[in-house]
Structure 1
Amino acid sequence: MAAVLFDFSGTLFRVETTESWLRAALAETGHTLPEPELTRTARALEAAGALPGGASPLAVPTDLADLWAVRDQSAELHRAAYTGLSRRVPLPDPGLYDALYDRHMSPAAWTPYPDAARVLRTLRERGVGVAVVSNIGWDLRPVFRAHGLDPYVDAYVLSYEHGVQKPDPRLFSVACEALGTDPRQALMVGDSRPADGGATALGCRVHFVDHLPVTHRPDALLPVLDLVD
């Protein structure tokens, strides 16, 4: 393998819990909720799938279905889709819906998996190109910089910057071109079989990991090093 393409959320990084997300947004806007209400609200937001990178919606509302299907194709669509879900849950101030969305883009909302740095650093030492290929509606580069992983990434291919989202093979093609790599010599690593599996259309190999809390997944990325060899 000459290159490895990594997904972002659930692969290299994990977003904070829905309760932590809500607490942070409340604190940042000067709001408070009684503990029982905060817990209930966090559960309702999680069921709604309102946290990008968190749990999927239990059910996408009919009026948001079309938007949800293309949410990663632009920053505007992404914000509209997720704030549309969060607005299903009553909050004490209408401004909190945008505050919640803004919070999830903060580097503090994300934690790298324990083995991410080791794997990325080793790939760099071996001269293997690395790209991050993500369905997303915002610039994740500051997250990598804040956590010290940016030096190990050669290219970022983000759906909202190209107007196309995985599993469309065009997104993987852009990544391989950016690395100067034949797709047949590239490995795609991700947590979503429907989305990341799209790389096989170009001849890429694919390796899947489970989207788990960081404390429950200490070393799932390490097999990537053997696969590259």
Structure 2
Amino acid sequence: MFKGVMFDFSGTLLRIESTEEWLGAVLAAAGISLTDEEFAHRVQRLTEYGALPGGSAPRHLPRRLEAMWHERDLSADQHRLAYTALAREAGLPELAQALYERHMTPAAWRPYPDTEPTLRELRRRGFPAVVVSNIGWDLRPVFRAHGLDDLVDAYLLSFELGAQKPDPAIFRAACDRLGLAPADVLMVGDNRIADGGAQDIGCTLHFVDHLPVDQRPCGLAPVLRLLQSS
């Protein structure tokens, strides 16, 4: 019988804005105008190099950045260095820092339509919920800005723990924070490799699709059904 829930962050509870919106916001703030062709080219390059944190993985990753990429979520410095390096590789060295800063703002993130109702219903039923994320910065202000922080009992963030999913250590820490045995905890995420690590310590898994917000109105609905039937 489940007694608590672990949730991934990006692609599970909230989704980062599109690369077009991300770049557009930074250009607007800097007062930079581009032609449609120039803008489309830069979006394509940023996408190719996976420079948007929370977005798609790089399609082209220079060998010298491979180690940095794979360990990017272990510290704040590594995370910033990895993503600003990718933005520079994409041909936007002058905007690399501004692009990185933008992705950490609440305006860059949108909750899925059923995120708040699901978390609120868990709270009503007495199920504690924690967020377990591979990330290089403090996402708590994002949750506060979207009115979700009071519905989360704890945050287990890789850069604070020095361990990143699928390392069992981060999931054990989350279960300890919940005060529950792994067998009593449901892990909800979108990445079968990273989030799948929870299974190694005995948690049950439920996966959602990492889709744009307007294409996944009720992806979390099965979570409540699973808890009810357990």
Paired position in structure 2 for 1:20: 21
- d(CA) in 2 for partners of 1:113 and 1:43? 25
One-letter identity of the residue aligned with 1:211 = H
Paired position in structure 1 for 2:157: 158
Paired position in structure 1 for 2:198: 199
One-letter identity of the residue aligned with 1:55 = S
Which secondary structure does the structure 2 equivalent of 1:56 belong to?
coil
Paired position in structure 2 for 1:67: 68
TM-score (norm 2): 0.97
Deviation for aligned residue 1:35: 1.9
Residue correspondence of structure 1 range 154-193 to structure 2 within 5 A = 154-193=153-192
Deviation for aligned residue 1:117: 0.7
Deviation for aligned residue 1:30: 2.4
One-letter identity of the residue aligned with 2:85 = G
One-letter identity of the residue aligned with 2:54 = G
Which secondary structure does the structure 1 equivalent of 2:223 belong to?
helix
- Please, which moves more after superposition, 176-185 or 3-12? 176-185
Residue correspondence of structure 1 range 41-190 to structure 2 within 5 A = 41-91=42-92, 94-190=93-189
2:45–2:91 contact (8 Å) kept in structure 1: no
- d(CA) in 2 for partners of 1:96 and 1:173? 38
One-letter identity of the residue aligned with 1:50 = A
Which secondary structure does the structure 2 equivalent of 1:193 belong to?
coil
Deviation for aligned residue 1:34: 1.7
- Please, which moves more after superposition, 33-42 or 184-193? 33-42
One-letter identity of the residue aligned with 1:109 = A
One-letter identity of the residue aligned with 2:178 = L
- d(CA) in 1 for partners of 2:101 and 2:60? 23
One-letter identity of the residue aligned with 2:96 = Y
Which secondary structure does the structure 2 equivalent of 1:33 belong to?
coil
- d(CA) in 1 for partners of 2:222 and 2:90? 41
One-letter identity of the residue aligned with 1:204 = C
Which secondary structure does the structure 1 equivalent of 2:187 belong to?
strand
Point out where structure 1 has 5 or more consecutive residues left out of the alignment.
none
TM-superposition CA deviations, 1:160-208 (whole Å, max 9, x none): 0011100001101111111111111000000000000000111100000
Which secondary structure does the structure 2 equivalent of 1:87 belong to?
helix
Coordinate RMSD, CA, aligned: 0.9
TM-superposition CA deviations, 1:84-110 (whole Å, max 9, x none): 11111223xx44100000000000000
- d(CA) in 2 for partners of 1:189 and 1:42? 31
Paired position in structure 2 for 1:222: 221
Runs of 4+ in 1 over 6 A off after TM superposition: none
TM-superposition CA deviations, 1:127-185 (whole Å, max 9, x none): 00100000000000011101111110000000000111000011011111111111110
- d(CA) in 2 for partners of 1:95 and 1:88? 11
Point out where structure 2 has 5 or more consecutive residues left out of the alignment.
none
Paired position in structure 2 for 1:37: 38
- d(CA) in 2 for partners of 1:90 and 1:224? 42
Deviation for aligned residue 1:47: 1.2
- d(CA) in 1 for partners of 2:178 and 2:91? 46
Identity among equivalent pairs (%): 58
Which secondary structure does the structure 2 equivalent of 1:9 belong to?
coil
